[in-house]
Amino acid sequence: MIFPCPLKSECPEQASPLTGASSEAADSPTFIGTNFGFGPYFPPLGSDWSESQAVGFCDSQTSQSDADTCAARSNLQQLAGNWPGYQVFYNSQQNCTAVCPDGLPFTHTVGAGQYPADSQQVADAAAAAVACELVSQGQVCLSDLDSVLACLNVPFTSEVSVTGNSGPYSFSIVSGTLPTGTSLMPTSPASAAVTGTPTATGDFTFTIQATDALGNYMQKEFTVEVMGITNMPGQIVGIKNSPLTFQLNVGGNVGATVFSVTSGSLPTGITLTNAGKFTGTPTVSGSFTATVTVSDVSHSCSVSANFTITSALDWSGITWDQVSHVGAIILTASGASFNLNASAIAGDGRNAFLHGSLLYNGPAVNCLLTITGFSNIHPGGSNIALPLRIPNTGDWDPNNPLAGPPGVTNPSSGKYVIPFLIGAGSTLIQLGGTSGNANQIVISTGSGQAMFLSYAGTFSNV
């Protein structure tokens, strides 16, 4: 508010109308102190009997005692200049401290030289009294946060409140870092909240400051622990009757943890160990959802685990698009199997071509090529290649089928089981080869030799 005179105490008529602008907030009370030098402040002995006494006026918005002390200070400062030999003493620095419920101190300091008196003791006492009065009026205390335990990717809100005499209060982070994904938001004139969805695990330490309308403030340090499972995929994909394992990882500065399924169901045949490992062989196909909870000594966090169990890779869907017969070599192929019969081959090597393909899209799966009914009667040596082309698996060189499995060198008779891996993702499995491509069934005999050969091949899952 603006008054027509510099200080309210100096207005000739304190009830005179106000001039100037209006105020949006309520006026603070104004205390008026007046000191004529009575009490201890008489003219000293030896002064002229007509010596004028000083008069001190002061306004204060703190308290009446502060206004009176200020007026006395004004009075003494005038006396010190007018009364010969009169000594004025000024206070030394004075502190006053009150303790908040959480044990944090709230201190106000009155600087040296602000309050005069006719003795050092009186000056210090006056400054100390003002310091304690300001502490009583301006003390600000912060509560604890509602919660300091948060879970990864789970909405979190934790409120802190302030007590004091001069709201409303403003809140700020003055040091440290809030949990990633959260912020400090006011919730009322005397409270604020750390709120949001944490997106990273760990311990996050930060300091909140609450400041009242007069500039008094309190700072308090907090630590929020964010825990959670850090590697849960959107889907865990497995194959019916194929082993499945998946290890869960937990983040955050936690001690010993225990994993458990707290709702829903895992695929039949799959279990979750206390250490967070899914393991087993699913015996049914379909979609499954379970709630997995990880707990430490202080709190627990839960997340959904979604499973999709597909039927095993269906080898019966092979498309055989080239089966080539050469002379007495007879090739047949259907579904997951093919057969070869050759008899009375004489002369140089003969080649037959067999090519099929199968598109697969799913997790990695272990497979087998099983050769049965193998009969090989021949007077000389022979080589047989049973090639597979599986892109991006690194199992075999598609241009050198005899370099390794499933090439069979100098076979005689019996059963051959050749394992191989189909990688995860979308894979075009190619079986055999075409004319002019080394990926083909090859039968070669020495010149002038004859042989009798037959076998059946079947593709399957492990």
For the chain, the distance separating the N- and C-terminal CA atoms, rounded to the nearest angstrom, is: 89
Residues 386-397: tens digit of each pLDDT: 444 444 444 444
More confident residue, 357 or 412: 357
Q: What is the pLDDT of residue 25?
A: 44
Question: Looking at 41-45, 118-122, 194-198, which range is the least confident one?
Answer: 41-45
Lowest pLDDT segment from 116-125, 403-412, 433-442, 450-459: 403-412
Cα distance between residue 113 and residue 131, in whole Å = 14
Q: What pLDDT does residue 449 have?
A: 55
Show which of 86, 109, 138 is a domain's final residue.
Answer: 138
Domain boundary among 292, 310, 328: 310
Segment (H or E) for 268: none
Strands 425-432 and 354-362: antiparallel
Inter-helix orientation angle 120-138/64-82, to 10°: 150
Q: Does one domain contain both 448 and 340?
A: yes
pTM of the full structure: 0.59
How many residues appear in the chain? 462
Distance between CA atoms of residues 356 and 331, nearest Å: 13
Do both 223 and 235 map to the same domain? no
Distances (CA, A) of 93 to 127, 132, 214, 395: 8, 13, 22, 84
3-state helix, strand, coil in the chain (%, to 5): 10, 45, 45
Q: How far is CA 95 from CA 210, 361, 447, in A?
A: 21, 76, 113
Which is nearest to 306 in space by CA: 318, 322, 290? 290
Helix (H, G, I), strand (E, B) or coil at 312: coil
Q: Residue 457: which CATH number?
A: 2.60.120
Please tell me whether residues 326 and 455 are part of one structural domain: yes
Residue 120: domain span: 28-44+53-138
pLDDT tens figures, 53-78: 556 666 766 677 666 767 666 666 66
Q: How far apart are CA 269 and CA 240, in angstroms?
A: 10
- pLDDT bucket at 50, cuts 50 / 70 / 90: very low
pLDDT class of 243 with cuts at 50, 70, 90: confident
- From residue 176, alpha-carbon distances to 113, 140, 165 in Å are 37, 21, 28
Instruction: Judge if 240 and 221 occupy the same domain.
Output: no
Total domains in the chain come to: 4
Question: Is residue 200 situated within a structural domain?
Answer: yes
pLDDT value for 172: 96
Q: Which of 19-28, 236-245, 405-414 is predicted least confidently?
A: 19-28
CA separation for the pair 195, 185 (Å, rounded) = 7
Percent of the chain with pLDDT over 90: 33
Q: pLDDT digit string (tens) for 167-194?
A: 899 999 999 999 999 999 999 999 999 9
Same domain, 110 and 184: no
Residues 6 or more apart from 437 whose CB is under 8 A from it?
Answer: none
